[in-house]
Amino acid sequence: MAEAFRGEIYQKVDAKARVSIPAAFRAILAADDPLASNTQRPRVYMVYGGKKRVFVECYSKFGADKLAEDINSMEDGSDARIKAELNLMTRSIMVEIEPDGRIVLPPDVRKKIGLAGEIPEKSEVVFAGLSNRFRLYRRDVYDALFGDDEEDDDVDPLTLVGRHKRTG
């Protein structure tokens, strides 16, 4: 991965379900996609699986390949692998970014974030950077979840970094 997805960026969604991918995110998606230099159309992999999720998890080509590799390393036929394959591979879609930087949100993605059917005027989504991926939320859902997170507790988030490292 060339760079990390950072920040929370608010973007409008038009009546045709088109949204602009933030420029900084497009640059990362292009850098992580070997075909993008030929086509000028980087790809974003949008995962809409997971019943309890109110967001869509988005990966670059490199990130999607890493996710698939991690799933492939799981025990064949195990309940965990079957669940991971269904929710992270089957319930996902690859979308090419148009030369103007926009995508049309696919129907399953719109349904997942609560923009199914006719899209209300002034609809917005939030692109929330998470280092190696980003999440796409409907703005009101994101604001309800994280709008007042400064009040949650007295722990400085920086003190948590390094405490919970992955194993294996």
pLDDT tens, residue by residue, 103-133: 999 999 999 999 988 888 889 999 999 999 9
Alpha-helical (H) ranges within the chain are 23-31, 36-39, 61-72, 79-84, 107-113, 139-146
Tell me what pLDDT residue 153 has: 67
Neighbour tally for 17: CB within 10 Å: 18
* pLDDT over 90, % of the chain: 76
- Edge-to-edge order in the sheet of strand 56-59: 8-13, 123-129, 134-138, 56-59, 43-47, 92-96
As a whole number, mean pLDDT of residues 38-55 equals: 93
Of 4-8, 142-146, 149-153, the least confident: 149-153
Residues paired with residue 123 on neighbouring β-strands, in sequence order: 13
Tell me 42's DSSP state.
-
Confidence check: pLDDT of 167 > 80: no
CB contact at 8 A, 29 and 44: yes
- pLDDT of residue 25 exceeding 70: yes
In the prediction, which pLDDT does 149 show?
63
